[in-house]
Structure 1
Amino acid sequence: MIVKDEEAFIENCLRSVQDTVDEIVIVDTGSTDHTVDICRSFGAKIVEFPWMDDFASARNRGLLEANGDWILWLDADEELDQKSGQILLHSLDQDEHDFFSIHLVNYMGEQVQLDNAYLIAHTRLFRNRKGIQFKNRIHEILDTPPPNQIPILPIKVYHYGYLDPVVRRKNKSQRNMTILENEMKKSDYDPWIPYHMASEYYRIREYEKAFQYVNMSILQFLIKQLSPPSLLYKLKYSILLSVGSIDTAWPGIQKAIELHPDYVDLHFYKGIILLVKENYSDSLAAFEHCINLGEKYLNHLVLHGVGTFQAWYYIGVCFEKMNRIDDAKDAYKKSILLSSSYLPPREALLKCLSEEDQSITTTDIS
């Protein structure tokens, strides 16, 4: 892994893998805190590498020091799930694949809540073979076969680096945009680059610039005669919903769904758009389709809940708008059963029940 001033996270990260891996290789790009000392306490091999605004180069330097048959790559602000270590080892003992993906859980917001996390399959395990390397100066990835040819293991890695306090403390957006701006000066820049620019502007709520860049990314993929990946449409319609541009979002969301019919988030956005447009029956159908899809298609970036408890909540909202109160209450109850910490269905159910019986309180639906 690459580190720089990661003393707040690195100990938990290394503790999560110490009983699973045979060696730990750390590429330090200039830490001035206790990061390196903590890494050494876990027996890590430390490689000093000057920072050159190039994540792939730093990763590849670390690969030169790895001696094991397999490599698991992580960030310092990530942790391997406690139950995943043995699954990982067992999977590697019996398989002939060169790459594996895992379930990456990206926490968002001010604090860790599973109700506010994105799920995606990410290739993090690969054989230590000559020729397998990282590419891209930022948002580095492995040069791998197509994702649909890479098995997904039932292993979870938790990522805390997108939590708002962490982003603010590290000033990640400014660092990332500086690298991305330099990449875009190249005549043959990768069409992913404007997408990453859009993501950074979206993160700091500069939605107009975010929208310009995500459309630029879509256009660049089309110019190269490539189908724009689902992430681009996810971001595009997230931006439009954030600024309330419902008329711009509809009916364009339909085309995005045609391109990526198994992407539950796009169907969820469709349901939200139709709900705002007061087309309750079609909105209901969209949310019911979210339940049918679930959250198993992790080749896409999936917001946890859009195929489960959030979808059931909005099904309840649709039923309530259609004056089907008993059905609405049932839907809210299903949402509550799936997530005890997601508050909207509790509040909606309490409102329905209190309208029938004013003595009902929050404790009655706990």
Structure 2
Amino acid sequence: MSEAPKISLCMIVKNEEECLHKCLESVKNLVDEMIIVDTGSTDKTVEIGKSFGAVVHSYEWQDNFAEARNFGLEKATGDWILWMDADEEMNQEDSMKLKELLRGKEDSLFYIHLINYIGDEINEDDAFHIAHSRLFRNGIGFRFHFPIHETLNVEEVLPNLTEDLHIQILPVRIYHYGYMNECTGRKNKFERNIQLLMKELEKEDHSPWIEYHLASEFSRIQEHEKTFKFVNLSIIGFLENHMMPPSLLYKLKYSTLISIGSAEGAWPGIEKAIEIYPDYVDLHLYKGIIQYLKKDYKRALMTFDHCLELGESNIRHLTLRGSGSFHAWYYKGLCYEGLGQVEEAMAAYRMALAMAENHAPAKEALEKLSMKTEVSHTLNSK
């Protein structure tokens, strides 16, 4: 039997005393070494890292996340590198089986199931799921690029990788808390990120990912016009570079149009996006919502049924929890209401609540409809 591979945890941190302990605790029995690059902490971050046996390297911040991460990679001695952020935590049960999953593997890169929580509190039904390149073989040329929202140079190291040759997703979950309202407010991420992204935007040869990340930042603070502007520029940038725009660009584009109530502006463009990514349930959900807003209830019902058929297990796309389950049932309820089919609407809302008992819109819609039905029965009995 082959030896268990050695895993190095690589992180960059700054003033993470509130969350670093939980992160390191989740992987302390998995990794063989912890390499932490500290970019200027003034709290107990360094002390916490060292208490877990981590080797902490001081690093002068250069407004470049990729360079800081690459500095850490150079210090790692493991066969495999696992990279994480301090506001993340690996599922404990999954971490216990990861080494066995890696034993004897000839692959160079693996995806891990990243769960991004949003909102005010941790809620399994309020999260985005995606497969993310978090585990890669050391010493074969993997590096990070882009000063902000740094990304692995997968295409350079694995040039023969195609859509037909998928990177394997390991059954390992990492929970990310950094997009929750408390974290984003506390760290003033928006101002920092916008400043760095605008600096990158000035470069003639910048990646179209920069416009996408700008769109994402503006989306988080609900500046929809700027979101729409930059996501469109990103799509154009990918096309001009003879590259297929990634699916999450279309997700952001059409969710923005829905947010500003522009169903007409989103139709029929979303059909073209679905032609490119027919297996992306979120796009189908948005199509159904657009049809609902256009009061095309019967076609919308068929679209939401397709969402339920697709489900939401395909995390190769950034997938909103509920797109293939309770969100689809909730919108089916709205469509039935639009058609005047009260019993069917109530049944749909109950299905949504059976899948997500705290789904407020379905709960409110059901209560409102139940009350309306009760009043109607009372008046008819008189």
Give your verdict on TM over 0.5: yes
Partners of 1:4 and 1:234 in 2: how far apart? 32
1:324 to 341, 345, 354: 341
Secondary structure of the 1:114 match is coil
Match of 1:362 in 2: none
After TM superposition, give the deviation of residue 137 of structure 1 in Å: 1.1
List aligned pairs for 1:113-152, cutoff 5 A: 113-144=123-154, 145=158, 146=161, 149-152=166-169
Partners of 1:208 and 1:320 in 2: how far apart? 31
Partners of 1:301 and 1:76 in 2: how far apart? 21
Match of 1:241 in 2: 258
Match of 1:65 in 2: 75
Structural RMSD (CA): 1.6
Partners of 1:94 and 1:307 in 2: how far apart? 35
Partners of 1:309 and 1:323 in 2: how far apart? 21
Q: Please tell me whether residue 291 in structure 1 is matched to residue 301 in structure 2.
A: no
After TM superposition, give the deviation of residue 318 of structure 1 in Å: 1.5
Match of 2:197 in 1: 180
Secondary structure of the 1:126 match is strand
Partners of 1:82 and 1:350 in 2: how far apart? 39
Question: Unmatched 5+ residue regions in structure 1?
Answer: 359-366
CA contact (8 A) 1:105 1:157 kept: yes
2:186 to 154, 164, 169: 169
2:39 to 14, 20, 29: 29
After TM superposition, give the deviation of residue 36 of structure 1 in Å: 0.5
CA contact (8 A) 2:29 2:96 kept: no
Partners of 1:302 and 1:225 in 2: how far apart? 25
1:255 to 248, 272, 275: 272
Partners of 2:351 and 2:259 in 1: how far apart? 27
After TM superposition, give the deviation of residue 46 of structure 1 in Å: 0.5
User: Runs of at least 4 residues of structure 1 off by over 6 A?
Assistant: none
Partners of 2:70 and 2:336 in 1: how far apart? 54
Q: Please tell me whether residue 77 in structure 1 is matched to residue 87 in structure 2.
A: yes
Question: Unmatched 5+ residue regions in structure 2?
Answer: 1-10, 376-382
Match of 1:195 in 2: 212
Match of 1:42 in 2: 52
Distance 1:208 1:357, change over 3 A: closer
Q: Please tell me whether residue 311 in structure 1 is matched to residue 328 in structure 2.
A: yes
Distance 1:355 1:212, change over 3 A: closer
Q: Please tell me whether residue 102 in structure 1 is matched to residue 100 in structure 2.
A: no
Partners of 2:133 and 2:227 in 1: how far apart? 27
Partners of 1:205 and 1:315 in 2: how far apart? 26
Q: Please tell me whether residue 337 in structure 1 is matched to residue 354 in structure 2.
A: yes
Amino acid at match of 2:185: R
Amino acid at match of 2:123: Q
CA contact (8 A) 1:312 1:334 kept: yes
1:211-246 CA-to-partner distances (Å, cap 9, x unmatched) read 111111111111112121111111111211111112
Partners of 1:285 and 1:53 in 2: how far apart? 49
TM-score by length of 2: 0.90
After TM superposition, give the deviation of residue 308 of structure 1 in Å: 1.0
Secondary structure of the 2:190 match is helix
Secondary structure of the 1:330 match is helix
CA contact (8 A) 2:83 2:135 kept: yes
Partners of 1:357 and 1:199 in 2: how far apart? 44
Amino acid at match of 1:25: I
Secondary structure of the 2:46 match is helix
Secondary structure of the 1:149 match is coil
TM-score by length of 1: 0.94
Amino acid at match of 2:260: V
Amino acid at match of 1:99: L
Match of 1:364 in 2: none
Partners of 1:135 and 1:267 in 2: how far apart? 33
CA contact (8 A) 1:87 1:154 kept: no
After TM superposition, give the deviation of residue 356 of structure 1 in Å: 4.4
List aligned pairs for 1:209-224, cutoff 5 A: 209-224=226-241
Match of 1:10 in 2: 20
CA contact (8 A) 1:271 1:286 kept: yes
Partners of 1:243 and 1:351 in 2: how far apart? 25
Secondary structure of the 1:298 match is coil
CA contact (8 A) 1:79 1:158 kept: yes
Amino acid at match of 1:280: Y
CA contact (8 A) 1:332 1:346 kept: yes
After TM superposition, give the deviation of residue 357 of structure 1 in Å: 4.3
1:54 to 58, 64, 76: 64
CA contact (8 A) 2:112 2:171 kept: yes
Q: Please tell me whether residue 279 in structure 1 is matched to residue 296 in structure 2.
A: yes
1:103-159 CA-to-partner distances (Å, cap 9, x unmatched) read 101111222212221110001011112412111111111122447521001111000
Partners of 1:313 and 1:91 in 2: how far apart? 38
